Structure 1
Amino acid sequence: METANRQLAAMPGFSRKQVIALVVLLVLACVLPFVLGNYRVFQLTLALAYAIALLGLNMLTGYNGQISLGHGAFFAIGAYAAAILMDKGDLPYWATIPIAGLACLVAGFLFGLPALRLEGLYLALATFALGVAMPQILKYKGLEHWTGGSMGVVIIKPDPPGWAAALNQDQWLYFFTLAWTLLLFVAGWNLLRGRVGRALVAIRDQPTAAQAMGVNTALYKSLTFGVSAMYTGVAGALSAIAVQFASPDSFTIFLSLTLLVGVVVGGLASISGAFYGALFIQFVPNVADQISKAAPWAIYGVFLIAFMYLMPAGVAGLVKLVRRRLGFR
């Protein structure tokens, strides 16, 4: 429990300098869509969606110590929930987001119940199996009417509402995704800095001691899995709306591994690390492709090794170290 208290002590109320920095970052985020081209705005929208997914996965892996290699499955559930509701149910795009999140909350909680008997690599393998199976489940003929089989589901990019008619579609979706990002990050910050956060870190570091202190480890683990899946599902729904397409081949096991890479690169048990990890998984593959068309993934591997060698605590850890050296808290 002492370790948990130290971890949560690192997340105090914001100082005046931190508030100013956050306001500056928010203003910058609101200005970017007006100075960048539509494709860059689209990329930033996907980066925000990835940041939500990475925060959800970090709750599970970074704070609670449960390793998941199959979170791409929940990303797929959220994406298909939004796509099917828009395509078959004629629901407005904004209404599909909470439904997708609720569906993944239930799916994650139910998956987390039997997974309570598994720990470490065994849990990782169970989630890996989920990630591997999901594309095949989506292609199953019995579900083809809803999922579109191998062809997937195509949806129409939504237009901005009348009061935001000055924005184009990409700009509006960026601000729509940014609003959800702010909402979920504020909720996550409040969740992790309080009693729940202490319980999660205690279960991760000393599960026996946490249970002796009265923490219901089984309930917390299952709920953490559910909340983590909910965040990932919301991210999947936002991504599908931005891309206008949901296909089984978009949610292979590679997506799950990419999300885990983003969490580690950004920084384990770090809320801000979700943003750094999202920028890495969104833009570094493009940079690697520009450097070498013949072997882009080799360049990507070099980038990944360099990040892990130079920043073993992730980008968030390096930023925290630099702030301390400069006298900022």
Structure 2
Amino acid sequence: MSETDSAQVKRAPAPPAAPRRPAPAGPLAGRWRWVAIALLLAAACYAPFQLVPFHVFQLTMVLVYAVALLGLNLLVGHAGQISLGHGAFFAVGAYTTAILLDHWDGMPYPVTLPLAAGVAFLLGLAFGVPAMRLRGLYLALVTLAMAIFLAPLLKRFEELTGGSMGLTLAKPAPPAWSGLAPDQWLYFLTLVVAVAAFLLAHSLLRSRVGRALHALRDNEIAAEVMGVRLSSYKTLAFAWSAMFAGAAGCVYTWVIGFVSPDSFTVNLSITMLAGLVVGGLGTLFGPLLGALFVMFVPSISQDINDAAPGVIFGLLIIAVMYVAPTGLAGLAERLIKKIPRKE
């Protein structure tokens, strides 16, 4: 063999390696996600039979806030818009339900749910029209102003809203065939509404609408070039967000049996936004984790220090965001990805 032939043999490329079998992360992750949801639902149905009434009430309020944060997540996490007035839409749903039940005797409780959600949807649609021309800090200030002036406005219409004293209402009573205690019945009513809200939001985000909202969030110019109507989707994002908040406000009235302007101050809107950021923007379980934060962290802060609960609350937010910059849901996803998988 000549030297030239020998050199060619040495320089001959090695045969290509067999392609590695891709890890089944996508389908497996989706399958395990549904398994986790099924287990979570099973635990949710089992919990009220094992807990004392006060803890059942706390879980009920977690579900109420989860529905409200689901709408805020749709607006902030998926559409990329900012809102500091989500508590105002929550209040609109609560007061719509309270007024219907207080002024119309015999009004069925289930009828108030679509009515409260519809009123909040129309208000969000009306608010979204001027807001679609704003962004960033300007939009945040406008939404904050809505949350600030709502409570004084409710106090001025005393004959309708009860003024500063609010409205006291009867809670839905469990039917005799259910065999449930009142707190358990309210819990399961709220659970049904929460599951329906999550399914509706999931279907919405997997449709063409969801893809348009994500395009709007990532790059408005590119979305407009691709044919996304920015004004329409920005307005609808506010309307859908308000609809979920209105439905949550309706269930809040069922559970509490009382509404007053002092229950819907600007602090509620800020706490909701903080809870969603801590839970995880744009994630499936972010609203639920954020609802746990909204429900339990203020009370924990109060127990730690009665004199300065706000300081403890702020420090807890800073600590969580330092450990999990993408929220608790993002932290859980990162930890799951680190689990070794079998090839």
Interval containing the TM-score (normalised by the shorter chain)? over 0.9
Please point out which of 289, 293, 300 is paired with 1:276.
289
Please point out which of 308, 312, 321 is paired with 2:334.
321
- Give the deviation of 1:229 after TM superposition: 0.1
Residues 69 and 128 in structure 1, CA contact (< 8 A), matched pair in contact too: yes
Letter in 1 for 2:175: P
Aligned match of 1:298: 311
5 Å-filtered alignment, 1:190-205, equals 190-205=203-218
1:222 aligns with 2:235: yes
Please point out which of 245, 250, 258 is paired with 1:237.
250
Aligned match of 2:168: 154
Aligned counterparts of 2:26 and 2:126: Cα–Cα separation in 1: 30
Letter in 1 for 2:234: K
- Give the deviation of 1:70 after TM superposition: 0.6
Aligned match of 2:102: 87
Aligned match of 1:289: 302
1:23 aligns with 2:35: no
Secondary structure at the counterpart of residue 139 of structure 1: helix
Letter in 1 for 2:260: S
Aligned match of 1:40: 55
- Give the deviation of 1:288 after TM superposition: 1.8
Aligned counterparts of 1:13 and 1:84: Cα–Cα separation in 2: 48
Aligned counterparts of 2:97 and 2:267: Cα–Cα separation in 1: 22
Aligned match of 1:118: 134
Please point out which of 122, 131, 135 is paired with 2:147.
131
Please point out which of 78, 100, 109 is paired with 1:63.
78
Residues 71 and 256 in structure 1, CA contact (< 8 A), matched pair in contact too: yes
Secondary structure at the counterpart of residue 227 of structure 2: coil
Aligned counterparts of 1:327 and 1:68: Cα–Cα separation in 2: 39
Aligned counterparts of 2:81 and 2:250: Cα–Cα separation in 1: 24
Change (3 A) 1:259 1:42: same
Aligned counterparts of 1:202 and 1:16: Cα–Cα separation in 2: 26
Aligned counterparts of 2:98 and 2:288: Cα–Cα separation in 1: 25
- Give the deviation of 1:89 after TM superposition: 1.4
Superposed CA deviations along residues 165-198 of structure 1, whole A, max 9, x for unmatched, are x111111011000000000101101111232111
Aligned match of 2:177: 163
Superposed CA deviations along residues 16-62 of structure 1, whole A, max 9, x for unmatched, are 33332221111100111111111111111111010011110011111
Gaps in structure 1 of 5+ consecutive residues: 1-9
Aligned match of 2:185: 172
Aligned counterparts of 2:27 and 2:233: Cα–Cα separation in 1: 23
- Give the deviation of 1:323 after TM superposition: 1.1
Change (3 A) 1:11 1:100: farther
Aligned counterparts of 2:65 and 2:28: Cα–Cα separation in 1: 26
Please point out which of 308, 320, 332 is paired with 1:307.
320
Aligned counterparts of 2:75 and 2:46: Cα–Cα separation in 1: 33
Secondary structure at the counterpart of residue 146 of structure 2: helix
Which range moves more in the overlay, 154-163 or 259-268?
154-163
Runs of 4+ in structure 1 over 6 Å off = 10-14
- Give the deviation of 1:14 after TM superposition: 7.0
Superposed CA deviations along residues 122-158 of structure 1, whole A, max 9, x for unmatched, are 0111101100010011011xx2211001111111111
Please point out which of 159, 177, 198 is paired with 1:145.
159
Aligned counterparts of 2:60 and 2:216: Cα–Cα separation in 1: 34
Letter in 2 for 1:321: R
Change (3 A) 1:93 1:13: farther
1:208 aligns with 2:221: yes
Q: Percent identity?
A: 50
TM-score (normalizing by structure 1): 0.93
Letter in 2 for 1:152: G
Aligned counterparts of 1:158 and 1:11: Cα–Cα separation in 2: 43
Aligned match of 1:267: 280
Aligned counterparts of 2:87 and 2:28: Cα–Cα separation in 1: 33
Gaps in structure 2 of 5+ consecutive residues: 1-24
Superposed CA deviations along residues 194-227 of structure 1, whole A, max 9, x for unmatched, are 3211111111121111111111111111111100
Residues 11 and 193 in structure 1, CA contact (< 8 A), matched pair in contact too: no
- Give the deviation of 1:296 after TM superposition: 2.2
